[in-house]
Amino acid sequence: MSLNLKQSIKRNQFVVNYGRMWPFVKPIWVTALFSLLICVPVGTLDAAIALFLKPYTDVVVVGKNMESPWYIPLLIVGFTTVQGLLNFGGAYLNAWVGGKLTMAVKSRLYSKLVEIEPAYFDKKTSGEVLFRFNQDAELSCSGLLTNLKSFITRICSSVALIGVLLYNSWQLSIVAIFILVVAIAPLTRVKKLIKSLVTKNNQCMFQVNTTYNETFAGNRTIAAYNLQDRQKARFNGLLNDVFGLVVAMTRRTAWLSPFMHFVISIGLGLAIAYGSWLIVQGTITPGNFVSFLTALLMLYTPLKNISNVAVQVQHSFMAIERVFEILDRPSALIEKDESRPLMTIKEGVRFEGVSFAYNKGVEVLRNIDLDVKVGEMIALVGNSGGGKSTLVSLLPRFYDVAKGSIKIDGVDIREFSLHDLRQNIAVVFQDNFLFDGTIKENILLGKPDATDDEVAQALESACLTDFIKSLDKGVETYIGERGILLSGGQKQRVAIARAFLKNAPIVILDEATSALDNKSEEIVQRAIDNLMKDKTVFVIAHRLSTVKNADRIAVINEGDLAELGTHEELMAIPNGKYRTLYNMQFKDPASEAA
């Protein structure tokens, strides 16, 4: 990009940033326009007081005559009252429009958030997500209206006041406008002065938000390990970093205000000196001079603190840029415009030469070939970190393969829409996420329009009926955020009931019982056995006793498909990886022979 083009883009930053907000403004543009048009009379009325002082000074103060301008004080009071009422109306409309805009932007950002591929969250903290998807929306929208209102009001006021200056003395006006240009010239450097500090400050705020979230989610761990002092020290360190950045930002921008005070004082001094000379020469009247000086003070006074406004304007600009950086972010999971429907699965799933890497150059899976027939149960076993969970995560396209392909009934899964693909897959994780609400609300996520009979059947199949009967409110029992009021086994069974309602032909069980005690595991395993009936099942398990009856067992070792076969076939391989893993878990020879 040429230097001239870059400079042109920077010069038009105001138009570019605010222009991109038009789609959000469009539905309420009439109210938004009216809220901004109010700024015209509000700003213009600033000139009324200064303008009326000329005849008042010449006739009353100098001429000692009260007959003509007796009404001027009443007019000033009247104009000021009107201006105050318009200010109130403008503030109300701005609050309404700003609220609507914030809602619209937050809604769009949240829509983007829920559609972003899971890989995005692997590299982001909860604090950054909260800041960029929530606080940036508020900063951009509130800044948009506040800055536009201030800008239009100030422009209208300045134009009207400059008109008063020119009306009273064009000679003095030249001096005043020259000083005005000199005073505001440094504001063009504000963004350059603060941009790097704003970026660092935002990163610190990400970490502060993350710390709050971690303290909430990890409160029991903090208590159990006596981590209170550690967390306090960490948090105070972050606060010190934020404090340092605030001080640095003040150091970089605070000089603007005294600089403007100094330049403006020169302007006022020159105006008084030159104006006095013009009065003596008879070029202007004392009324001209008083009116001019009043208009000049009203023009200059807001500029003394305009550096703070300029900083806030740049904060708003940068927030808008960050908002659209998210909204313009392309999805890593590409869907075809004309996707193929996926209604049923007749043949099965095939992994063909599948390779995958979370980080470029570091492959987690290498050339996996695996054919799974409809109705087959295949178990994935191997050492931790070998790639088992990654392999099944590729099937619902939580991630996309780097090489090779995954096919359902001979069709690459990338040919299907994400909705259709995932509608045919039910996943039960090791740590299933339950939403804030009731048991029934969480189960209905599998099928929102399910009947009470279908819910009851899902509860029965998930071995939850007796537990539900023991609760005063039954399925309407509130379970808290993340299902915190349920035990591990109960949460797993609620997740299984949810999967039952979904009734997907493919089921993925990702270590669904590994975090449970023996009693809970036995109950959950019965529920899982019910869930797997007549389904194509992928089971990941560390406890090999739970997969002995699988149709086939695939051993994933360091990203490779090392072995594949039934339990008996794999146990028959001398020094085989599966046999080694099995013997490590079952030391008793009698168990080994089983």
Measure CA 192 to chain center.
25
Helix (H) or strand (E) holding 565: strand 560-565
pLDDT digits (tens, 9 = 90+) for 225-273: 788 888 889 889 888 888 888 888 778 777 777 887 788 888 888 888 8
| Distance (Å) of CA 495 to CA 446, 458, 589 | 9, 10, 37
pLDDT (0 to 100) of residue 122: 82
Looking at the structure, do residues 209 and 358 belong to the same domain, yes or no?
Answer: no
Instruction: Categorize the per-residue pLDDT at 406 as very low, low, confident or very high, splitting at 50, 70 and 90.
Output: very high
304, part of any domain: yes
124: left (phi over 0), alpha (psi -120 to 50) or beta: beta
User: Which of 293, 327, 361 marks a domain boundary?
Assistant: 327
Distance separating alpha carbons of residues 175 and 196, to the nearest angstrom: 37
Q: Collect all residues with Cβ–Cβ distance below 8 Å to 466 and sequence separation of at least 6.
A: none
Cβ atoms within 10 Å, residue 446: 21
Distance separating alpha carbons of residues 60 and 398, to the nearest angstrom: 82
Q: What is the mean pLDDT of residues 383-401?
A: 88
Crossing angle of helices 190-217 and 228-253, rounded to 10°: 170
pLDDT (0 to 100) of residue 356: 93
Structure token digits, residue 82: 């009107």
Looking at the structure, do residues 413 and 281 belong to the same domain, yes or no?
Answer: no
Three-class SS state of 561? strand
Give me the percent of the chain exceeding a pLDDT of 90. 9
pLDDT (0 to 100) of residue 2: 45
According to DSSP, the β-strands at 403-408 and 348-356 are antiparallel
| Residue 166 confidence (pLDDT) above 60 | yes
CATH of the domain at 366: 3.40.50.300
404, part of any domain: yes
Distance separating alpha carbons of residues 533 and 375, to the nearest angstrom: 8
Instruction: Categorize the per-residue pLDDT at 7 as very low, low, confident or very high, splitting at 50, 70 and 90.
Output: very low
Total domain count, the chain: 2
Looking at the structure, do residues 248 and 362 belong to the same domain, yes or no?
Answer: no
**Torsion 21-23-28-29 (CA) sign:** positive
Distance separating alpha carbons of residues 267 and 176, to the nearest angstrom: 6
Cβ atoms within 10 Å, residue 410: 9
Distance separating alpha carbons of residues 201 and 243, to the nearest angstrom: 9
Distance separating alpha carbons of residues 26 and 104, to the nearest angstrom: 11
Highest mean pLDDT among 241-245, 479-483, 521-525: 241-245
Instruction: Categorize the per-residue pLDDT at 215 as very low, low, confident or very high, splitting at 50, 70 and 90.
Output: confident
Instruction: Categorize the per-residue pLDDT at 70 as very low, low, confident or very high, splitting at 50, 70 and 90.
Output: low
Q: What is the mean pLDDT of residues 28-43?
A: 86
pLDDT digits (tens, 9 = 90+) for 171-186: 888 888 888 888 777 7
| Residue 65 confidence (pLDDT) above 70 | no
Answer for the pair 349, 508: CB distance below 8 angstroms, yes or no. no
CA quadruple 244, 249, 255, 257: dihedral, nearest 10: -120
SS3 letters across 165-207 = HHHHCHHHHHHHHHHHHHHHHHHHHHHHHHHHHHHHHHHHHHH
Three-class SS state of 147? helix
Instruction: Categorize the per-residue pLDDT at 80 as very low, low, confident or very high, splitting at 50, 70 and 90.
Output: confident
Distance separating alpha carbons of residues 63 and 57, to the nearest angstrom: 8
SS3 letters across 321-362 = HHHHHHHCCCCCCCCCCCCECCCCCCCEEEEEEEEECCECCE
pLDDT (0 to 100) of residue 351: 94
Answer for the pair 352, 406: CB distance below 8 angstroms, yes or no. yes
207, part of any domain: yes
Instruction: Categorize the per-residue pLDDT at 69 as very low, low, confident or very high, splitting at 50, 70 and 90.
Output: low
485, part of any domain: no
Cβ atoms within 10 Å, residue 154: 18
Measure CA 229 to chain center.
31
Looking at the structure, do residues 323 and 352 belong to the same domain, yes or no?
Answer: no
pLDDT (0 to 100) of residue 64: 61
Q: Give 589's Cβ-side CA count (13 Å radius).
A: 0
| Residue 153 confidence (pLDDT) above 70 | yes
Phi and psi of 512, rounded to 5°? -70, -15
438, part of any domain: no
- Alpha helix stretches (DSSP H) within 383-487: 388-394, 418-423, 439-443, 452-461, 465-469
pLDDT (0 to 100) of residue 1: 43
Highest mean pLDDT among 306-320, 334-348, 399-413, 463-477: 399-413
Q: What is the mean pLDDT of residues 105-126?
A: 86
- Weakest mean pLDDT among 178-187, 335-344, 461-470: 178-187
Looking at the structure, do residues 45 and 192 belong to the same domain, yes or no?
Answer: yes
| Greater model confidence, 581 or 306 | 581
For the question of whether the overall pTM of this predicted structure is more than 0.85, the answer is no
| Residue 590 confidence (pLDDT) above 50 | no
Instruction: Categorize the per-residue pLDDT at 5 as very low, low, confident or very high, splitting at 50, 70 and 90.
Output: very low
CATH of the domain at 302: 1.20.1560.10
Distance separating alpha carbons of residues 324 and 20, to the nearest angstrom: 8
Answer for the pair 379, 551: CB distance below 8 angstroms, yes or no. no
Q: What is the mean pLDDT of residues 1-9?
A: 45
pLDDT (0 to 100) of residue 518: 63
Distance separating alpha carbons of residues 316 and 12, to the nearest angstrom: 15
Looking at the structure, do residues 83 and 129 belong to the same domain, yes or no?
Answer: yes
User: Which of 327, 362, 394 marks a domain boundary?
Assistant: 327
pLDDT (0 to 100) of residue 404: 92
Where do we find the tokens 């109130």?
Answer: 88
Looking at the structure, do residues 370 and 238 belong to the same domain, yes or no?
Answer: no
Q: Tell me the pLDDT of the chain averaged across its residues.
A: 82
DSSP class of 59: I
Phi and psi of 35, rounded to 5°? -65, -30
Going by C-alpha positions, the residue among 394, 328, 340, 338 that lies closest to residue 365 is 394
Looking at the structure, do residues 307 and 278 belong to the same domain, yes or no?
Answer: yes
Answer for the pair 375, 438: CB distance below 8 angstroms, yes or no. no
Q: What is the mean pLDDT of residues 100-107?
A: 90
| Residue 594 confidence (pLDDT) above 50 | no
Going by C-alpha positions, the residue among 535, 337, 502, 341 that lies closest to residue 420 is 341
Range(s) of the domain holding residue 593:
342-424+536-594
Instruction: Categorize the per-residue pLDDT at 541 as very low, low, confident or very high, splitting at 50, 70 and 90.
Output: confident
Looking at the structure, do residues 19 and 97 belong to the same domain, yes or no?
Answer: yes
pLDDT (0 to 100) of residue 61: 61
Answer for the pair 464, 548: CB distance below 8 angstroms, yes or no. no
Give me the percent of the chain exceeding a pLDDT of 70. 89
8, part of any domain: no
Looking at the structure, do residues 124 and 71 belong to the same domain, yes or no?
Answer: yes
Q: C-alpha angle 256/165/303, rounded to 5°? A: 15
User: Which of 327, 358, 377 marks a domain boundary?
Assistant: 327
| Residue 305 confidence (pLDDT) above 70 | no
Looking at the structure, do residues 355 and 237 belong to the same domain, yes or no?
Answer: no
472, part of any domain: no
- DSSP string spanning 109-142? HHHHHHHS-THHHHS--HHHHHIIIIIHHHHHHH
462, part of any domain: no
DSSP class of 61: I
Q: What is the mean pLDDT of residues 541-568?
A: 86
Instruction: Categorize the per-residue pLDDT at 9 as very low, low, confident or very high, splitting at 50, 70 and 90.
Output: very low
Q: Would you call 447 exposed, middle or buried from its count of C-beta atoms within 10 A (0-12, 13-18, 19+)? A: middle
Looking at the structure, do residues 223 and 358 belong to the same domain, yes or no?
Answer: no
